[in-house]
Amino acid sequence: MLNEMKKMDSILRNIEASSVRASLNGDVGDFISTQQRLNKLNSDFRLMLLKYLEAMEKSGLMLPQR
């Protein structure tokens, strides 16, 4: 799961860079499309991170937050 999280982080960074380039070039359509992809991947990444943390907690490697 950690490797998947690293891959997702790399993808997010690439999309963020694409978004910045589109913004600097004034390409509004590409910017909006890139932002939508980024929002979807951010949601997926957060869900993956939550599942990872829950697995760590269940295995006793991490204490639950109170």
pLDDT per position as a tens digit, 30-46: 778 878 888 888 888 88
From CA 8, how far away is CA 19, in angstroms rounded? 16
Any domain includes 63: no
pLDDT of the residue at 63: 66
- In the chain, the N- to C-terminal Cα span, in Å, equals 25
Strands in the chain per DSSP E: none
From CA 58, how far away is CA 64, in angstroms rounded? 9
Any domain includes 19: no
Average pLDDT over residues 7-22: 80
Any domain includes 16: no
Any domain includes 5: yes
Average pLDDT over residues 7-16: 80
Any domain includes 24: no
Any domain includes 47: yes
Q: Which domain holds residue 47?
A: 1-11+29-57
Q: Which two tokens stand for residue 52?
A: 């990872």
- pTM for this prediction: 0.53
Tell me the average pLDDT of the chain. 80
What's the gap between Cα 60 and its chain centre? Answer: 26
Any domain includes 66: no
From CA 40, how far away is CA 34, in angstroms rounded? 10
Any domain includes 64: no
